[in-house]
Amino acid sequence: MDRRQFLKTGSVGLSSAAALSQLSLSHGAWAAPATKIPRVGIIGPGWYGKVDLLRMIQVAPVEVVGLCDVDRKMAEGAADIVSQRQASHARPKIWNDYRKMLEEQEFDIMLVDTPDHWHALQTIACLEKGIDVWVQKPISVDVMEGHAMLTAARKHNRVVQVGLQRRSTPHLIDAKQKVVDAGLLGKIGMVECYCYYHMRAQKNPQPSPVPEGFDYDLWTGPAPLRPFTELTHPRSWRAFMEYGNGIVGDMCVHMYDMVRWMLKLGWPSEISSSGGILVQKDSAANITDTQTATFVHPEFPVLWQHRSWGSSPDPEFPWGATIYGDKGTLKLSVNKYEFTPLRGGEKLTGSARFEYDKFPEDETEKDLERHVASAVRGHMRNFLECIESREKPVADIEQGHISTACCIIANIAQKLGRSLRFDPETHTIPGDAEATALLRRDYRAPWVHP
């Protein structure tokens, strides 16, 4: 089968570079050279790290040679799974410090799936080693980190794909082509994005001992050192602004980026936001439970709203976006889309693509978001194709920077209580020294801001 078909159907039972040479390679898609299988590593093989890495193994002949995690138990478990899933059945080597990993092992591709406060330093370190990088969203926790990441990617001529896989989601690609690009919406006047998941931590635990085998100081890295509690690790760290950007940074970034991609939007001219902790005051979490934001684009405004309490206005679309045109309305989510024309005509719908016939392991994989697996695979294929062509991927680091930075600026606007006009040329907020200072956070010593 040809290379493009190989990427569509996933990995086959090839255990050596020689076997790869038997494939017929067509133009335009990605596959390893016959004499060299790309060496892959991952920093942060936790929940979504494994989701990403195992999707890559499904679609390409790669060899995972190294894993890095400050949680020894997490790393050991991930290494066991990788040895079962990759074609060679080799068990990757384990490190707890990414700096030693990069010194001791050569890599062609690195996945950075750590908590948000680590993305910048680890991505830049990989780029400086000449490694192409997949980095999870949001790319940074402050705006200037993202600018430094973009600068490093361009300086070292590396391919960087951001985990904003709505751009590679099959049913959303269909919606873009069949509804947006076809002009069925007419003139668009407004877009709403939203999340009503009850996802904010509700606990207020006391400090507790750091688990054995977990390097909490290294996990904290450049972030402020908080007392360790059961909310710190694993996965609940998003409850704290020290490590991320709240629900706006976690969930808005996906839907806002999807809208920018579908409707070809660049930087907004003005960002405003309001909200706070209005209902869930008993939790230790310091992220907002209620927040709205407005991204004012020259074309039309894009609105965001989240509530981690109460009900969703539309239970069918608890996290998604609605595009309003004068000829119809398009609702979009990770599960489906629905287009309703304003004055009669055909309604269009589409739903998430499941590929159990090609990837039966999806049905039993622990903690996999099954409705998203096809999107991650598509995103991986695009990343790998661009590694070969040296073109920019669909969620290039620049696009990831724009969507991430806008969400961060929304949080700054909410904190300061005023609208902000960001200048992407100077990476400042002209005439507002207080807001500009908040585009860069202080790092905990000895870590140095990039």
Average pLDDT of span 133-158: 98
pLDDT at 221 over 70: yes
So what's the pLDDT on residue 36? 83
The domain limits of the chain are 3-165, 167-369+397-437
Give pLDDT tens digits for 244-276: 999 999 999 999 999 999 999 999 999 999 999
Cα separation, 66 vs 45, whole angstroms: 10
So what's the pLDDT on residue 16? 34
List beta partners, residue 111: 42, 134
Average pLDDT of span 194-223: 97
Q: Is the whole-model pTM more than 0.85?
A: yes
So what's the pLDDT on residue 343? 87
Q: HSE (CB half, 13 Å, CA atoms) of 326?
A: 4
Average pLDDT of span 14-31: 34
Distances (CA, A) of 289 to 173, 191, 198, 274: 31, 22, 9, 11
Give pLDDT tens digits for 68-119: 999 999 999 999 999 999 999 999 999 999 999 999 999 999 999 999 999 9
So what's the pLDDT on residue 345? 86
pLDDT band at 5 (very low <50, low <70, confident <90, very high): very low
* 8 Å CB contact between 290 and 299: no
Architecture of domain 167-369+397-437 in this structure: 2-Layer Sandwich (3.30)
Give pLDDT tens digits for 358-408: 999 999 999 999 999 999 999 999 999 999 999 999 999 999 999 999 999
Please give the mean pLDDT across all residues of the chain. 93
pLDDT at 235 over 50: yes
Strand residue runs (E) in 177-318: 188-195, 270-276, 290-296, 301-307
**Percent of the chain predicted with pLDDT > 90:** 91
CATH, domain 3-165, list 3.20.20.10, 3.40.50.10860, 3.40.50.720, 3.90.1210.10: 3.40.50.720
Give pLDDT tens digits for 295-326: 999 999 999 999 999 999 999 999 999 999 99
Cα separation, 344 vs 271, whole angstroms: 36
So what's the pLDDT on residue 84? 97
Q: What share of the chain is helix, strand, coil (3-state, %, to 5)?
A: 35, 20, 45
pLDDT at 165 over 90: yes
